[in-house]
Amino acid sequence: MVMQWRDDLATGVELIDSQHQELIARVNRLLTACHEGRGKAEVADIVDFLGHYVVTHFRDEEELQRSVAYPEYDAHKTMHEKFLADYNQLKGQLETEGATVRLVVLVNKVVVDWLVHHISRVDKAFAAYYREQTSNKR
């Protein structure tokens, strides 16, 4: 099942949306590879991408949150730290066990759950606050 970028995922903050779209594109690559029996070949690439993504995306998002004194910053940062811990577990599993079918399934679950919950709810709530705060400064 390929994931589609939908308008209801858009936050209205261009930087965040473009990063989320890239994450969905990478997940789709893995899902397509799984469907074609190549999931084990692609899982190392997505784990590597996630390593860069969590550093860049979380840093950018947290900078935006601090710039508008987002009241839920600490809770949001804690969620980022939880995802980072999940990522480190995935990376460790890849390093110790290699690209197993179990790892492919786990990567899909962790990332899709993140997309469904965090982006569609938590990031959208922040983006609404951010847009409100930045429109008041104009």
pLDDT in tens, 19-36: 999 988 988 888 788 778
Q: What is the mean pLDDT of the chain?
A: 88
Query: What residue ranges do the domains of the chain occupy?
Result: 14-136
CA gap 137, 116 in Å, rounded: 31
pLDDT at residue number 38: 79
Q: Decide: 76 and 122 in contact? Cβ < 8 Å.
A: yes
Superfamily of domain 14-136: Hemerythrin-like (1.20.120.50)
Find how far residue 51's CA is from the centre of its chain: 11
pLDDT at residue number 102: 84
pLDDT in tens, 80-108: 999 999 989 989 988 898 888 888 888 88
- Rg of the chain over Cα atoms, rounded to whole angstroms, equals 16
CA gap 70, 92 in Å, rounded: 33
pLDDT at residue number 137: 67
Classify residue 117 by its DSSP letter.
I
Length of the chain counted residue by residue: 138
